[in-house]
Amino acid sequence: MTMAGSVLAPNPAPAAAPSPAPRKQRTGRALSDRRTRFGLLNATPVVVYLLILFIYPIFSTLMLSLKGEDGAFTLHWYTDAFRGANLEILLTTLRISAETSLLALGIGFLLASAISRLKPLWAGLAMIVVVVPHFISALVRTYGWIILLGDNGVVNNVLTDLHFPGAPFQLLYNEIGVVIGTTAVMLPYTVLLLYAVMKGIDRRLLAAAASMGAGRITIFRRVYVPLVAPGLVNAGVLSFILCLGYYLTPALMGGEKQTMVASLIDEQVMKQNQWNGASALGIILLLLTFAGLLLLKLLKSAGEALRNRGTAS
């Protein structure tokens, strides 16, 4: 009878889901805490600052780019940005930004690698030499490059005196001059990022690889480069993003074929009074920046996955 009763007895009712009251009580206690209220009070000016000086201007620019000349909703300015001369300027901007980031990575890698091997005193002095030009006005630096690279500049005069074939060269008002100028601007960022990564590498790993019979090229390719890869990705993406919106150097050292998006925005605002088209170009640059940051995050995730897979194997 007891067994039958136990078999026929109904199953116990499932436990009721916890009420949201405890969660509300925890939230209420957190808000009633003096430290939490003080933290929210300190964060309020920052939030208001971001809303007024960052979120609102971007939202206003977006709405302006979606208005036609009659005030109606339109995508005309975006379609116009991807046609004709505007599309060529956009592609030129992407190409020059990519060339600048690659050249800055190459030169910055060599400089950072050499500085990371120096003694602390000499490394500090070398970093001062690299970083100090960054604090000089961009206009002054650009005119300095114009003096150096001009037809009668220092570079061409030295090459002519050395009877170098083809000298003097046209180093200004073309893509070569723009890439040289923008690379000089981006180089301090690249060297700082790469130096920080290289300085943190455990040199015993390289010595261990050498003790196991690996040659210098193998150590560089299979040990050193994977260790500095995060710094290379960060420096490359940062240089690319910063170069996308650069205005001064391309405007002074480039020609008509080297017009970049920032110069086009300036022309549309100052000469054509076309704020809608300029707003659309600004939003496109912003989206390209977000795309670069997303690419950086994806590359970091892929790198961590590869490292974890290598550790597990």
| 257-300: pLDDT as tens digits | 889 999 999 999 998 888 999 999 999 999 999 998 898 888 87
| Distance in Å from the first CA to the final CA of the chain | 60
Listed as ranges, residues in the chain with pLDDT below 50 are: 1-10, 13, 15-17
**pLDDT of amino acid 33:** 67
Residue 184 lies in a domain: yes
Is residue 228 domain-resident? yes
Does residue 55 lie in a domain region? Answer: no
Query: CA 131 to CA 160: how far, in whole Å?
Result: 31
97: left (phi over 0), alpha (psi -120 to 50) or beta: alpha
Q: Using CA atoms, how far apart are residues 240 and 110, in angstroms rounded to an integer?
A: 19
Domain count of the fold of the chain: 1
4 inside domain: no
What contacts 171, CB < 8 A, 6 or more positions away?
Answer: 149, 150, 153, 155, 156, 177, 180
Tokens of 290: 């977000």
Instruction: Tell me which residue range forms the domain holding 171.
Output: 90-312
DSSP 136: S
Does any domain span residue 191?
A: yes
Distance (Å, whole) CA 120 – CA 62: 49
pLDDT of residue 39: 74
For residue 94, which of 293, 310, 311, 260 has the smallest C-alpha distance? 260
CATH at residue 187: 1.10.3720.10
pLDDT of residue 148: 92
Residue 76 lies in a domain: no
The residue whose two tokens read 């990022």 is 193
